[in-house]
Structure 1
Amino acid sequence: MTDVAQRISALRQELDAHNYRYYVLDEPSVPDAEYDRLFRELQALEAEHPELVTPDSPTQRVGGEALGAFGEVRHEVPMLSLGNAFEEDDLHAFDRSVQSGLGLAGGDLFGGGAEVEYSCEPKLDGLAVSLLYENGQLVRGATRGDGSTGEDISSNVRTIRNVPLKLQGEGWPQVLEVRGEVFMPKAGFEELNARQAETGGKTFANPRNAAAGSLRQLDPKITASRPLEFCCYGVGQVSGELPGTQVAMLQQLKAWGIPISRELKLARGVQDCLAYYRDIGERRMSLAYDIDGVVFKVNNIEDQQQLGFRARTPHWAIAHKFPAQEELTELLDVEFQVGRTGAVTPVARLKPVKVAGVMVANATLHNMDEVARLGVMIGDTVIIRRAGDVIPQVMAVVPERRPDDARPVHIPEQCPVCGSAVERTQLIKRSKGKESVSEGSVYRCVGRLSCQAQLKQAIIHFVSRRAMDIDGLGDKTIEQLVDEKLIASPADLYQLTFEQIIGLEGFAEVSSNKLLAAIEASKRPTLARFIYALGIPDVGEETAKVLARSLASLARVRQALPEVLTYLPDIGLEVAHEIHSFFEDAHNQQVIDALLGACGLQLQEEGELSAEFSAVATLGGMLDKLNIPSVGPGATQKLAERFGSLEAVLGGDWLDMRQTLPERQAKAVREFFDGEGNAQRARAIEQQLRDFGMHWESEKKVVEGLPLAGQTWVLTGALTVNRDVAKDKLEGLGAKVAGSVSAKTHCVVAGPGAGSKLAKASELGIQVLDEAQFRSFLRDKHQIELD
């Protein structure tokens, strides 16, 4: 066998293996870009050596075989694949080929011939299916399979909510085969994976795998529980007449109740096609579903018939692919970075590869649990994924390409920056008087701010725009200040002198004075900004706002006991313990005292406890927060009603206790308060509730109702208004601004390009305002201008 024949044979075997994993097992082993490269290589070799082409070559069929668990369906009209365009030149070549095939003048290299009309729609990343309607009734559903024979999935497609079981209207052909893509929207995919993780089920790598796996379940009830959708892109066998153009035909199908793409458009000539491709590419990440390109089809059906087919693809259609979001490359090494909280994170160092148009040399591995889950070793060939501005990540390993000298990944015992010990975190779960400890997924350097990496990241966070907002203190400047030992805590920033700053690289007189002015201007932060800037573990911007808005003074936040903090919205016991521990730390206390003392910071928006939380506590509720074993809220309410005060509960005799609660619970209460420190702890919590004005005997203040109190709003899409300004205005009216849409959402403000959040709002029937309506709402109802 010649070298060429051997290579062709090897390519066919590899492509067949990939096809089997992709179409039959729903477990693709390589990115689409790698498959496309192998396929193009085989095409080129077969074009040079047509005598070696065989009927079973992957270039002569679509790929995949029907699973034996499903019945087989023979496609009367083969379900073909599409040719691909990867560059603009490829699309120009396709257009010239169309013009030439239609006998149009001027189909030359400069594209100067008559302009051909094309239908344009996104190329959905799902599973191709055929739906057969007879006399308007859905009678069969089938997968594409190998293009000639597919799998009978009739029971499953009937469970897809947007697939009509009966066509609407009238005039449809007696036999109508509709073809399209079954896919899973991004929001549904995220919810499905969350449910799977909660129940210990299999999670999916991407929406395409989730859609394919869901559609090909032997139990239709499982398919019915999955958020699948169908989108039609064409037809197969038809017994009657349909409109004479692709766009009109799809619009007619839509009138009969068949879902089609909302992005369907008509383009006149190749330049319009390219403009559509660029527009969809810019909006790709905001769409509610995954796409991997755009499909262009000659619009006139008669012209399609004239142009005809190749063995595998039509001459009249092409898929213009986006730059690959997944690629193969080699994992050269794994290094470890140290973050603001001391987390030691593995980072993949890669053989540089272009992914989605960007050269990638590094990717995240998240943590050592993820390294173990992937089974990744240094030297492996790995699949890298990059979507939009998301940090590239290692998605999977290609085990068959593992070299003999591959090395395992080990967490370092000492911090790579400061040499301190690296320890695995422990997760403490607290409930009903018990604490259970388990190993966490994060390893931390114990060096804290003596570790330069942690110090740098802590100060970078402190000065960031959403925190203290000190303009001019970029990452490189902070690294210089730490390396030169000019700062060792955030408080040291306020002691910097002109002479120290001008000595830094990149600073002159004007820039030094500007930085000093910016530092000075930051001395009057709001309470919420200051709390966020401190970098308390698990306390993000929203939690910082809750603390500031509810307790309204740093003194109360610093003193607050964990049980008291849990009275505040969205603060659970674990986060409450993190907050309390942070403010109990001696070093943190020194830095905060220095900032408020010698550094001269003056916190804004401090005041009295929020009226919403005045006298909010009850005796029964406070007793319940003590998590007495075997004693729930019903029992603690009975105690409160019987005894009337904490001291009475603590001093109650056995007879009173036994008359109030069953013997087992009464005994649990007595044993709990007899335990070391529990009674003292209860008294401390009650005293703090008194001090804060939250005690049941405190004066109840009148809550001035904010107009949007209790409402949750979501901002999405490309809004011209500054997102932070809009958020502040809504929060000032009492609303909570969330990052995702749920059944509890009151209103969504959607700008151009709004994707999955807008789709979810429409699905749930939630009120949606565009930007003009939002501005009018604030101006006319609340006298608020956004500009």
Structure 2
Amino acid sequence: MTVNDSVAKRVAELRKEIRRLDHLYYVEAQPAVTDLEYDRLLEELKQLETEHPSLASADSPTQRVGDAPVEHLVQVAHAVPMLSIDNTYSREELKAYFDRTEKSLGGPAEWVMEYKIDGVAASIRYENGTIAAALTRGNGQVGDDITHNIRTIRDVPLRLVGDDVPAVLEVRGEVYMTNADLADLNLRQTEAGAEPYKNTRNVTAGTIRLLDPAIAAQRNLRFFCHGVGQVEGLTAEDHIAFLDEVGKLGIPPTPDVVKLKNSSEALKAVAALEEAMPDLPFEVDGIVFKVNRFDQRDELGIRSKSPRWLIAYKFERYEATTILESIRVQVGKTGAITPVAYLQPVDIADTTVSRASLHNADEIERLDVREGDVVVVEKAGKIIPKVVRVEKHERKRELPPFEFPKQCPECGTTLVRDDGGVYIRCPNPTCPAQLRQRLIYFGSRPGMDIDGLGEEFVDLLIGRNVVSSYADLYRLTADQIANLNWLKQRKGKDGKLIDVQVGTKNAENLIAGIKASRSRGLAKVLSSISIRHVGPRVAQLITRQYPTLEPLRAASVEDLAAIHEIGDAIAMSMYEFLHSDYGTEVLDDLASAGIDLSQPQSETETGDLPLLGKTLVVTGTLAHYKRDEIKALIEKLGGRAASSVSKSTDFVVAGDKAGSKLAKAEKLGVKVLSEDEFKAMVDDGSNEDE
């Protein structure tokens, strides 16, 4: 091999590796190397191309900002018209559109549902696998040539992935900017004495029309593909297959697309994407519905300015700017430390927002949010508010980064991070804050279902040092509680808090509720005492195999893991609790207080269980069951009441106003039961899958 051959081979290796790393970082959000390692690879490639000009290539990663500024934008005709989308703002109008469309097709159509990204539409053309041109929508017939700026977008491949690429591929999609990148850009703007940008769409629209690609490269624009123009060589016959195909070619497809079998399901599924919007890192201003099959799209045709086979269901975005006054942390029942943002109260969409969860320490770092920051809070479609971004350019003084506590704020124990996880926990099982949360859960309906034991009573009992464990609840007397004083809000105009006695009636009601919970059984106890990973379903599975405490304590980790549906993590958590000083004390104390720690035989029998081995998900509003009641029935009859839909789900029980879970069931082909169908199944013992 000659020197030139050796260099050419190295150049090819570097380009392939850098393209792979770009795809992992910008498309998959899974960086594989450090920034320093990446920069070294890129610098080596630049050096080799400089020393060997004959090896230069227009699709090299070094050419992301390789173009000189253009003198002006040139207008170019679209090979296939790039049309706009009709909008609707109400469910009624959306239904009318579905009815018209399916009537034109002579029957139901398969639909796809996806986010309407709030960015700028663009068309990108590849010829023989290499980027050839990129245009704005323009008037639909002619657009501005923005190739020089699109080439700077790192999740847009300059060369398609793979050897078998289409001869011509023209994809349509949305150029956008994340909220985090806008915050960083606005900071640079104000530091340079320039005005900050108002929102991500405005800065995106201005950036893709810049004459100098070097400026565009600094703004970290992104791209999602959601449509197709001229194409020669793709095999997809519907939208879902198209997105999968272009994704394999290295082009990022629009995320979280849902396929629905007809318009009725599409109408029910609007909430599916709405629920996930608070966690998106980019802005959306609606939901787009498209006919999935390309042959049906051809049959429907187009109007003068828009296709008949798609529509955008848009909603207003409500946002406001406020001050993040403080960040405080709360301790949960399993010791998880959750940071909470306390905001200067601000009105958004007819509600007053004064605080929001920051989820975990990683979220604080991602937002780079600090006490005293000006933040943008948004409610899109009147759903849960979220902190969109920090207005970093509004920091008029140095604000110290928020330091996540190293010790528990309640008990002072050193905090620990989950192995491979994002949660930071207090490992002290006797932490007072954990005790409070655990007792609240213990008394709740999913727990031991103790009537009357709410937050007020828990706070009173702990505050007066009357209760310091689960078993202490069962040693209480009505007289002991009746004489305690607690703060109550006085009726009347002033509504002041006054110190009043609990009283005999309240005390007797609580004692009755506690007494009724004594015989709930071992499964209920295990799922109520906050053992990590052990909820009602897991407790039922374990106690079917080990219906009393003695054999359960004798079981090894391997014995527990061998139980159907119990994996290594759950088995280890259960075993460690049973053999810890704390776990031993909790269960021995409950036994000494007279709590039944055995499981009734009827609960462990496997005969005549119509749902044995089946996984069910319940969604929507039910007429005949409360949510906790139907879940308890499912588990009593041998089934698993899961909280999310997956390929392993056997049935989804859908009530009125079912949302995202129903949509996902339809997408995955999971059998959907009405409430009456579920009742018939459990009444007649049928567990057929059809």
- TM bucket (normalised to shorter chain) is 0.5 to 0.7
| Alignment partners' CA distance in 1, 2:269 and 2:260 | 19
Is 1:579–2:609 an aligned residue pair? no
Q: CA deviation at 1:468?
A: 0.6
CA contact (8 A) 2:523 2:543 kept: yes
Residue of structure 1 in register with 2:456 after alignment: 476
Deviations 1:329-354 (A, max 9, x none): 33222222222233333222222233
CA contact (8 A) 1:527 1:605 kept: yes
Q: CA deviation at 1:144?
A: 6.2
Deviations 1:706-732 (A, max 9, x none): 443333222222222323333333333
Question: Out of 576, 595, 602, which is 1:601 matched to?
Answer: 595
Q: CA deviation at 1:364?
A: 1.8
User: Which of structures 1 and 2 has the bigger CA Rg?
Assistant: 1
Q: CA deviation at 1:362?
A: 1.7
Residue of structure 1 in register with 2:315 after alignment: 321
CA contact (8 A) 2:417 2:424 kept: yes
Question: Out of 481, 485, 491, which is 1:504 matched to?
Answer: 485
| Alignment partners' CA distance in 1, 2:366 and 2:584 | 40
Is 1:712–2:604 an aligned residue pair? no
Q: CA deviation at 1:460?
A: 0.9
| Alignment partners' CA distance in 2, 1:180 and 1:359 | 36
Is 1:340–2:341 an aligned residue pair? no
Q: One-letter code of the match for 2:448?
A: M
| Alignment partners' CA distance in 1, 2:314 and 2:447 | 44
CA contact (8 A) 2:114 2:256 kept: no
Residue of structure 1 in register with 2:324 after alignment: 331
Structure-to-structure mapping, 1:153-172, within 5 angstroms: none
Is 1:221–2:248 an aligned residue pair? yes
Structure 1 residues 572 and 394 mapped into 2: Cα distance closer, same or farther (>3 Å)?
Answer: farther
Provide the secondary structure at the position in 2 that maps to 1:583.
Answer: helix
Question: Out of 408, 416, 421, which is 1:424 matched to?
Answer: 416
CA contact (8 A) 2:371 2:402 kept: yes
Deviations 1:361-389 (A, max 9, x none): 22222222332233222233334456899
Deviations 1:553-607 (A, max 9, x none): 233333322222111233333332222221222233223222222x221245345
Provide the secondary structure at the position in 2 that maps to 1:422.
Answer: coil
| Alignment partners' CA distance in 2, 1:364 and 1:745 | 30
| Alignment partners' CA distance in 2, 1:774 and 1:378 | 51
| Alignment partners' CA distance in 1, 2:269 and 2:567 | 42
CA contact (8 A) 1:182 1:230 kept: no
Q: One-letter code of the match for 1:733?
A: L
Residue of structure 2 in register with 1:525 after alignment: 520
Question: Out of 606, 616, 633, which is 1:729 matched to?
Answer: 633
CA contact (8 A) 1:367 1:442 kept: yes
Q: One-letter code of the match for 2:390?
A: V
| Alignment partners' CA distance in 2, 1:83 and 1:486 | 62
| Alignment partners' CA distance in 2, 1:609 and 1:335 | 43
Residue of structure 1 in register with 2:48 after alignment: none
Provide the secondary structure at the position in 1 that maps to 2:474.
Answer: helix
Q: CA deviation at 1:453?
A: 1.3
Deviations 1:450-484 (A, max 9, x none): x3212111111211111111121111221111111
Q: One-letter code of the match for 1:751?
A: G
CA contact (8 A) 1:524 1:602 kept: yes
Q: CA deviation at 1:150?
A: 8.2
Relative contact order, higher structure (CA 8 A, sep 6+): 2
Unaligned ranges ≥5, structure 1? 1-24, 27-67, 92-121, 132-140, 160-178, 184-204, 232-257, 266-275, 296-303, 309-316, 428-437, 612-702
CA contact (8 A) 2:408 2:426 kept: yes
Structure 1 residues 403 and 143 mapped into 2: Cα distance closer, same or farther (>3 Å)?
Answer: same
Provide the secondary structure at the position in 2 that maps to 1:335.
Answer: strand
| Alignment partners' CA distance in 2, 1:547 and 1:71 | 70
Deviations 1:609-665 (A, max 9, x none): 968xxxxxxxxxxxxxxxxxxxxxxxxxxxxxxxxxxxxxxxxxxxxxxxxxxxxxx
Question: Out of 488, 494, 504, which is 2:468 matched to?
Answer: 488
Question: Out of 438, 455, 458, which is 2:435 matched to?
Answer: 455
Structure 1 residues 773 and 323 mapped into 2: Cα distance closer, same or farther (>3 Å)?
Answer: same
Residue of structure 1 in register with 2:408 after alignment: 415
CA contact (8 A) 1:379 1:403 kept: no
Structure 1 residues 389 and 318 mapped into 2: Cα distance closer, same or farther (>3 Å)?
Answer: closer
CA contact (8 A) 1:458 1:535 kept: yes
Question: Out of 378, 381, 392, which is 2:374 matched to?
Answer: 381
| Alignment partners' CA distance in 2, 1:330 and 1:601 | 50
Structure 1 residues 480 and 384 mapped into 2: Cα distance closer, same or farther (>3 Å)?
Answer: same
Structure 1 residues 355 and 579 mapped into 2: Cα distance closer, same or farther (>3 Å)?
Answer: farther
CA contact (8 A) 1:498 1:512 kept: yes
Structure 1 residues 511 and 716 mapped into 2: Cα distance closer, same or farther (>3 Å)?
Answer: same
Is 1:566–2:561 an aligned residue pair? yes
Residue of structure 1 in register with 2:166 after alignment: none
Is 1:772–2:676 an aligned residue pair? yes
How many residue pairs get aligned? The number is: 478
Structure 1 residues 220 and 71 mapped into 2: Cα distance closer, same or farther (>3 Å)?
Answer: farther
| Alignment partners' CA distance in 2, 1:766 and 1:721 | 23
Structure-to-structure mapping, 1:612-691, within 5 angstroms: none
| Alignment partners' CA distance in 2, 1:361 and 1:342 | 25
Residue of structure 1 in register with 2:659 after alignment: 755
Residue of structure 1 in register with 2:116 after alignment: 125
Provide the secondary structure at the position in 1 that maps to 2:415.
Answer: strand
Q: One-letter code of the match for 1:573?
A: D
Q: CA deviation at 1:414?
A: 4.0
| Alignment partners' CA distance in 1, 2:382 and 2:451 | 24
Is 1:399–2:410 an aligned residue pair? no
Provide the secondary structure at the position in 1 that maps to 2:364.
Answer: helix
Structure-to-structure mapping, 1:70-109, within 5 angstroms: 74=77
CA contact (8 A) 2:325 2:372 kept: yes
Q: One-letter code of the match for 1:771?
A: E
- Percent identity between matched residues is 32
Q: One-letter code of the match for 1:125?
A: K
Give the TM-score normalised by structure 2.
0.56
Q: CA deviation at 1:210?
A: 13
Residue of structure 1 in register with 2:189 after alignment: none
Is 1:464–2:459 an aligned residue pair? no
CA RMSD of aligned residues (A): 5.5
Q: CA deviation at 1:412?
A: 2.9
Provide the secondary structure at the position in 2 that maps to 1:532.
Answer: helix
Structure 1 residues 388 and 735 mapped into 2: Cα distance closer, same or farther (>3 Å)?
Answer: farther
Q: One-letter code of the match for 1:213?
A: F
Q: CA deviation at 1:229?
A: 8.8
CA contact (8 A) 1:283 1:753 kept: no
CA contact (8 A) 1:712 1:745 kept: yes
CA contact (8 A) 2:271 2:660 kept: no
Q: CA deviation at 1:531?
A: 0.4
Q: One-letter code of the match for 1:500?
A: Q
Q: One-letter code of the match for 2:451?
A: D
| Higher alpha-carbon deviation: 68-77 or 730-739 | 68-77
Provide the secondary structure at the position in 2 that maps to 1:539.
Answer: coil
Q: CA deviation at 1:520?
A: 1.0
Residue of structure 2 in register with 1:534 after alignment: 529
